[in-house]
Structure 1
Amino acid sequence: MLSRCLVFGVLCCVPWIHLSQAQHCNVQVSPVSNNGKVKTCLHSSQDSPENTKKPHPDMSRLFSTDLLTSIIPHIEDRTCRSQLSQVVQDLNEMKLWAFQMFDSMGRLSSSVLSGNSHQLGDFDQCLSIQHPFIRPQYCLGLVDVDVAQEAPPDVKLVVERIRGNNFIQSHRSDPSQFIPTYTTLKWGLCIPDSCSPFDLSKSFDTFFNLTLPAYVTVQTSVDPRLCHQGGLQQKDWPLSTYLAILLFGGLVMISLVSTYCDQNKVPINKLSKSRSIQVLCSVKRNWAQFLIFKKEDIGCIHGLKTVATLLLFFAHNVIPLGSIPFINRTQLTDITFAPISSIFRSSIVYTDTFLLLSGLLSSYYLQTTSSILGRIGNRLVRMIPAHLAVILFTATILPYLSNGPLWSYIVETNGQLCARGWWKNLFFIHNFYPFEEMCAPHTHHLALDVQLFLLTIPLVLGLKSHPGFTSVILLGLNLGSALMRYCAMKEHQLSLVIYTGASLQDLYKSADLSYIRPLHRASPYLSGVWLGFILYKIKFHPVKLSKTTLYTGWSMATICLSYCLMANYNVGAIDYKYDVTQAAHYAALCPLLTSAALSWVILVCSTGYGGESERERETRKGGKPSFFAHAHVHTHTHTHTHTHTHTHTHTH
């Protein structure tokens, strides 16, 4: 079943093995064939030389029963071989259970050349099959299709289109819990549970080696963790899951009770101690506090956070689409080939925005406090509970919420990583470990934020006492960070932008060697530290900017942001060839230019040169800013959609 679809997609004239050439074969007629005949070879007394030859292609044999009977001789386990033969025999007799097993297998469909090469079959129907002594099993097969350089152009084009135009090149052994294994095909197999994953992998590999031409190679693997047996009860929940549910349920109840007790609008600092504790978790009071725009806030950063959050949300949610079995995956990749896709490929601009703002706020408020330890404690108290809640939910509850062909492949894998490595996230050191082994990889930004915050505290104190000398140090560290990024890209042939044809291993390597390293990502944070110091100073000594300065500043900021967003306009082209010089220059310059441009925007807006002043806006709106412009996003989260769908989706 698995190989039938692949063979058609890889080469329309794939030669199939004529099992009828084997001696002493039992031939049966199947009613499910177009030509009314399906030859089933169940036994062969001996192998003749003709059996090892590749016969001429026979397109009439592209049926699931043919494929099933073709792999039976290659299966070593006698019980598995016997039960598969029973499936074929009962299918020919149109027995319900056998037809359900046949119907549940992923099989050849239309639009294969449009990328409809993920055939998951029917997961639920497979596991619900009833038979006296044959128990069903659903396995997800992972298949890599490759073509040699000397292959004919048409064959190369067919393979390329089956692989979804090679948007991100992957291997079946690559991690799957975050970035999808885009070019690895997923095929659902509904078979008797007596057939082991090893038997399936070996039989399909043998079958392909005997069938396909030399310039087309197909490698398959069936991971035991991706096999589900029918007739089994749902797996029991561990004690940790029950405890986590009780914890989250308790928090919800506390919030509801606290909200119910919060019946007045008296400020919390004017309430008694016992009354303050009662309304501490009030949803109504905390939501109102969330929307308050304080006079000491730097108002324009809320708008930047909102814009960066939305753009990052769209940029990073394109990635999970690669796991969904779209009928027209090639059309999805055609969209990413457009030059405008550079805006979403350059997501480092938006993550650098958050690092810049974090450094700015840390520096600005550290200038106003005399208790450094108090500021550190306040920051950790705000971050740790929410962070641990995400880890706890991912490790103990999420894996048990559903099931499906891709659920264990994506969701359960991440849950297992969280169960083993939660302590790394607790101490915010998980970015020191390989990205592919990270629990909840989208939380690496929190680790960067905490580490850079702690590292830059001496610099903030230095700006207060020796601003000139410390500013020179900040500049040197900024340039040093840029040099580290440049060397990493140049030496290891990497890129911080996802380009067409990039391999999954290269993307993970880029993350491990640069993207999640605090020293490599320090440029925007250091720029934010210096900007926070400047804003604090001009709060007491206002500055005046001439029109020439404003025009020059806005022009330079526009040029810098345009470079960062559109410099990689060509990396999405289908014929793009990796350019290490372009990648290294972009990695070194983009964080510096992004920081400079956004620092200018924040500076002029905070000093009244960015349009309507904050005081005028407060007066006109009654002192309550709009939610969109001033929504305070404390943490930056990449949304990763986990899918376990069984159906195909057509994208428009």
Structure 2
Amino acid sequence: MHISRTLIWILCCVCPSVLATKSVNVLATSGLKSLEDEEILRVLTHNKSDVSENFTFVDLVENLKNQSATANDFIWSHESLSSRDKTNFYYDKYKHQVDSEIEQLFAIAPVFDPAAGTVSSECRRQSQIYHRELRRMSLWALQMFDATAKIPSGLLSGNINQLGDFDECLGIQGTGGIRGQYCLAYLQLEVDHNRGDLKEIHRLVYSHYAFRSNLSDPGHRVPRFSTVQWAICAPSSCTSQDVETSLRATISKYTSHTGINVTVKVDREMCQVQRIEPLPTETIIVGIFFISVIGLSVVAALCDHLRADVSEIVLAFSLKRNLRKLLSMKRGDDDIATLHGIRAINALMLIVAHKSMALFFNPYVNRTGMTEYLGRPWTVIGRAASLYTDPFIMLSGLLTTYSFVGRLRKSGEIHVRKEYLSRLFRLVPTLGALILFCMFIMPFIGSGPQWNLVVTHHADICRKTWWRNFLFIHNYFGFENMCLTHTHHIGIDTQLFALSPIMILALYKYPKMGALILISTAVFSTGLRYYVTYFKRLNNYVFFGTSIRQLFDTANLSYILPTHRLTVYIIGIFVGYFLRICPKGYKLNKSVIQLGWALTTLMALGAFFGPAGMGSINYVYNPTHAALYNAFAPIGWCALFAWIAFLSHTGNTRGWFSGLFAWRGFLICTRLSYAIYLTQFPVFFFNVGKTRSAEHYEFFRMLFNFHELGWIILTSVILTLLFDSPFQNIKTYLLRKPSTHSKSLKAE
């Protein structure tokens, strides 16, 4: 039985790379029709001799099986192609058909020329080879053309960011040693402002200018929303400057004498080739370090379980002990129950707000609809990220004061050196582990179009500036130049903690004078926020049209400075002081309680919903609105939580609202809170970096991504069990009284 012609055509269409391990003219319809069965079979079987008329499909399968007996002979393998074979060997036979079809293809989809403009000689040489092979319809050249971004549909829906085919481009190996290089170019489109029609189109294309950015803005922490991302697949010999020059020359052919002006930028770090180098030595060393810590934790758990006689320092790493400690529902003697709920709820809202910002890095086919949806007032939850960090600063001041005043009432002194050392044990090991991971491990566990921007570039910053984080001064060097940008809060909190003994001692020793000084300082900090925001035209609230430069200025001139965050810290000091000096049976008048609830609820609602109008698409920036928000919203938001903590701890309320915050399950959230705070952005940017194509934006599905939340919790648990809890145990062992050193360390 002869092989049917139809079956052969199906095989050729589905598996074009099979054809003699050479690129085939799969588009040449007329050429394919003229091929004889024997020619196809000869190609499929590597048989250069004539095929017998009695050659059957069974014979073909057997022949292919024999041909592919070893991996080196596997005819589908790209690696088996020699450079002389990486061309369409049918071209000479079907030259007229191929030439005609390629011209038609180029008329439909113009080709990017990597050699356009003034480029390097090697780039020009490889580009000429690319064009020659593309016109011959060689498979690797078609793949390079295919992997490059094309003008899509849905431009007026905001579908302007085109990431091409990242993996197809990096997998290319062509003639003359050519390898595929993926470059993500940035384009800035400007229109003639006298053209009302173009201005409206421009507004839709740029999704109502949710953010305004320039090519010069840093893009690794805050998205350059007004910049078009356009993927280019070019020969690897072309530098980023070559790609930028050629893309600019190519675009100018189509935009000259129009009302559109396009600025092009291609960063060196945004051009990637397939990674073939071995892992760096430091990465291997850091990997061994993490594996060693895991091994130590497992061995310590076995020793703990078997009650082996080993050092308490070793047992501090016991997974068994630390897991039991993490899941324990036992409260401490001085525990303030509602604080755990306050911390958990604000942490969840902060994750949602941070996730909202991370989402703007990704391309969407309906990005314009996305921004219109986010212009609704209730989406304030994602725009007020700065608001959710203030309770953490207040809680820090509250707990520090509550602890210090307790020691002062008990012994009359504070061991400042011991307190500072205790804080270092609390913060440094976990922070150090994450910095090591982000610098040396994370850049090598993934890839993607924006991977170098949000992961590798950030790792390079950490390599240069990590020491600032360990001195807790990184918040003074600019938001865009900070290693683990989101850890600015740790710097602020540590600096305020360093000053806290002075403030607390002043309040404790001289209540009236100390209170007056603290209130004056809080008023000064509030006034400073108002002044700087108004005159520097800053805004802590993300409104439509916020520029990236304004966001960075707001961070650098106000948000990350301890002088601007003193107000809520001092509120925490006062609350902690009153919680300690007021007995738990201290009763307030019911009228005072009701008035307090009314005032603090109104203040919190005003802080949260008051600026909702600034989220409207049609909002026009007003410095007075921004200054009022930055000055008073932190006070209003924290006032409610301070009131809940005071009433609950003194026994003045037993309502469901306070009971909710005091739920024991929040104890676990408290123990994970530091690690959750540290890991959320690495998880977000891991997903941003590996995103390869545009999605359809859906608010709830993407903002409340439980898969991503699960990874944040999992990484937080790992970080807590391997670093946070062990060093807390070591701190407890080393800093306790000498007389108790002989006792075993007990799980908390």
CA contact (8 A) 2:344 2:673 kept: no
Which residue identity lines up with residue 604 of structure 1 in the other structure?
Answer: L
Q: 1:614 to 1:188 in 2, by over 3 A?
A: closer
CA contact (8 A) 1:396 1:419 kept: no
State whether structure 2 residue 320 is matched by structure 1 residue 284.
Answer: yes
Match of 2:429 among 382, 385, 388: 385
Q: How do 1:65-464 and structure 2 match up within 5 A? A: 65=111, 68=112, 73-77=116-120, 79-81=122-124, 83-133=126-176, 134-153=178-197, 155-212=198-255, 213=257, 215-230=259-274, 234-263=276-305, 274=310, 276-290=312-326, 291=328, 292-369=330-407, 370=413, 371-464=415-508
Which residue identity lines up with residue 569 of structure 1 in the other structure?
Answer: A
Q: How do 1:496-645 and structure 2 match up within 5 A? A: 496-539=540-583, 542-611=585-654, 625-627=664-666, 631-635=670-674, 636-637=677-678, 639-640=680-681, 641-642=684-685, 643=688, 644-645=690-691
Which residue identity lines up with residue 401 of structure 2 in the other structure?
Answer: S
After superposition, give the CA deviation of every residue in 1:28-82 in whole Å (9 maximum; x if it has no partner).
Answer: 955257xx374xxxxxxxxxxxxxxxxxxxxxx56233xx35x755344455445
CA contact (8 A) 1:256 1:282 kept: yes
Task: Tell me how far apart the structure 1 counterparts of residues 655 and 606 of structure 2 sit (CA, whole Å).
Answer: 28
Task: Tell me how far apart the structure 2 counterparts of residues 344 and 510 of structure 1 sit (CA, whole Å).
Answer: 17
After superposition, give the CA deviation of every residue in 1:590-649 in whole Å (9 maximum; x if it has no partner).
Answer: 12222322211211111122326999999xx9xx93346864455244722122221222
Task: Tell me how far apart the structure 2 counterparts of residues 566 and 387 of structure 1 sit (CA, whole Å).
Answer: 34
Which residue identity lines up with residue 280 of structure 1 in the other structure?
Answer: A
Which residue identity lines up with residue 358 of structure 1 in the other structure?
Answer: S
CA contact (8 A) 1:181 1:504 kept: yes
After superposition, give the CA deviation of every residue in 1:265-296 in whole Å (9 maximum; x if it has no partner).
Answer: xxxxxx99846444322223223323331131
CA contact (8 A) 1:312 1:350 kept: yes
CA contact (8 A) 1:75 1:200 kept: no
Which residue identity lines up with residue 442 of structure 1 in the other structure?
Answer: H
Larger CA Rg, structure 1 vs 2: 2
CA contact (8 A) 2:428 2:470 kept: yes
CA contact (8 A) 1:168 1:503 kept: yes
After superposition, give the CA deviation of every residue in 1:441-484 in whole Å (9 maximum; x if it has no partner).
Answer: 01111111100111121011122211111111110010100111
Which residue identity lines up with residue 194 of structure 1 in the other structure?
Answer: S
After superposition, give the CA deviation of every residue in 1:396-443 in whole Å (9 maximum; x if it has no partner).
Answer: 111121222211121001000111111000111000101000001011
Task: Tell me how far apart the structure 2 counterparts of residues 192 and 468 of structure 1 sit (CA, whole Å).
Answer: 74
What SS is found at the alignment partner of 2:266? strand
What SS is found at the alignment partner of 1:380? helix
Show the counterpart of 2:517. Answer: 473
Which residue identity lines up with residue 352 of structure 1 in the other structure?
Answer: D
What SS is found at the alignment partner of 2:612? coil
| Alpha-carbon shift at residue 89 of structure 1 (Å) | 3.9
CA contact (8 A) 1:366 1:375 kept: no
Q: 1:214 to 1:480 in 2, by over 3 A?
A: farther
| Alpha-carbon shift at residue 103 of structure 1 (Å) | 1.0
Ranges in structure 2 where 5+ consecutive residues have no aligned partner: 1-97, 408-412, 699-748
Task: Tell me how far apart the structure 1 counterparts of residues 442 and 250 of structure 2 sit (CA, whole Å).
Answer: 38
Ranges in structure 1 where 5+ consecutive residues have no aligned partner: 1-27, 39-60, 265-270
CA contact (8 A) 1:306 1:629 kept: no
Tell me the number of residue pairs that the alignment of Structure 1 and Structure 2 aligns.
584
CA contact (8 A) 2:116 2:249 kept: no
CA contact (8 A) 2:604 2:638 kept: no
Which residue identity lines up with residue 488 of structure 2 in the other structure?
Answer: H
What SS is found at the alignment partner of 2:186? strand
Which residue identity lines up with residue 337 of structure 1 in the other structure?
Answer: G
Q: 1:535 to 1:628 in 2, by over 3 A?
A: closer
After superposition, give the CA deviation of every residue in 1:134-179 in whole Å (9 maximum; x if it has no partner).
Answer: 33322111111122321223x2222222223321112223222211
Q: 1:558 to 1:86 in 2, by over 3 A?
A: same
Task: Tell me how far apart the structure 2 counterparts of residues 349 and 366 of structure 1 sit (CA, whole Å).
Answer: 27
Greater shift, 638-647 or 359-368, is seen at: 638-647
Show the counterpart of 1:64. Answer: 110
State whether structure 2 residue 537 is matched by structure 1 residue 493.
Answer: yes
Task: Tell me how far apart the structure 2 counterparts of residues 194 and 372 of structure 1 sit (CA, whole Å).
Answer: 60
Which residue identity lines up with residue 302 of structure 2 in the other structure?
Answer: Y
CA contact (8 A) 2:186 2:264 kept: yes
Task: Tell me how far apart the structure 2 counterparts of residues 615 and 140 of structure 1 sit (CA, whole Å).
Answer: 51
Which residue identity lines up with residue 243 of structure 1 in the other structure?
Answer: I
TM-score by length of 1: 0.84
Q: 1:625 to 1:225 in 2, by over 3 A?
A: closer
Which residue identity lines up with residue 345 of structure 2 in the other structure?
Answer: V
Task: Tell me how far apart the structure 2 counterparts of residues 80 and 550 of structure 1 sit (CA, whole Å).
Answer: 76
| Alpha-carbon shift at residue 534 of structure 1 (Å) | 0.5
Show the counterpart of 1:22. Answer: none
Task: Tell me how far apart the structure 2 counterparts of residues 411 and 629 of structure 1 sit (CA, whole Å).
Answer: 30
After superposition, give the CA deviation of every residue in 1:174-231 in whole Å (9 maximum; x if it has no partner).
Answer: 222211112211111111233332233223334444542454221111112221235x
Q: 1:92 to 1:617 in 2, by over 3 A?
A: closer
| Alpha-carbon shift at residue 118 of structure 1 (Å) | 1.4
TM-score by length of 2: 0.74
CA contact (8 A) 1:30 1:92 kept: no
Greater shift, 551-560 or 170-179, is seen at: 170-179
Q: 1:147 to 1:538 in 2, by over 3 A?
A: same
After superposition, give the CA deviation of every residue in 1:513-544 in whole Å (9 maximum; x if it has no partner).
Answer: 0000000011111110111011000137x422
CA contact (8 A) 1:345 1:497 kept: yes
Task: Tell me how far apart the structure 1 counterparts of residues 678 and 600 of structure 2 sit (CA, whole Å).
Answer: 27
CA contact (8 A) 1:303 1:629 kept: no
Cα RMSD after superposing both structures? 2.6
| Alpha-carbon shift at residue 583 of structure 1 (Å) | 0.3
Task: Tell me how far apart the structure 2 counterparts of residues 311 and 634 of structure 1 sit (CA, whole Å).
Answer: 13
Task: Tell me how far apart the structure 2 counterparts of residues 604 and 99 of structure 1 sit (CA, whole Å).
Answer: 71
Q: 1:30 to 1:193 in 2, by over 3 A?
A: farther
CA contact (8 A) 1:312 1:638 kept: no
Task: Tell me how far apart the structure 2 counterparts of residues 85 and 275 of structure 1 sit (CA, whole Å).
Answer: 69
Task: Tell me how far apart the structure 2 counterparts of residues 629 and 222 of structure 1 sit (CA, whole Å).
Answer: 46
What SS is found at the alignment partner of 2:613? coil
Q: 1:202 to 1:385 in 2, by over 3 A?
A: same
Which residue identity lines up with residue 692 of structure 2 in the other structure?
Answer: H
Which residue identity lines up with residue 31 of structure 1 in the other structure?
Answer: E
Which residue identity lines up with residue 305 of structure 1 in the other structure?
Answer: R
| Alpha-carbon shift at residue 248 of structure 1 (Å) | 1.2
Percent identical pairs in the alignment equals 30
Task: Tell me how far apart the structure 2 counterparts of residues 539 and 249 of structure 1 sit (CA, whole Å).
Answer: 49
Show the counterpart of 2:49. Answer: none
Task: Tell me how far apart the structure 2 counterparts of residues 205 and 128 of structure 1 sit (CA, whole Å).
Answer: 26
Show the counterpart of 1:23. Answer: none
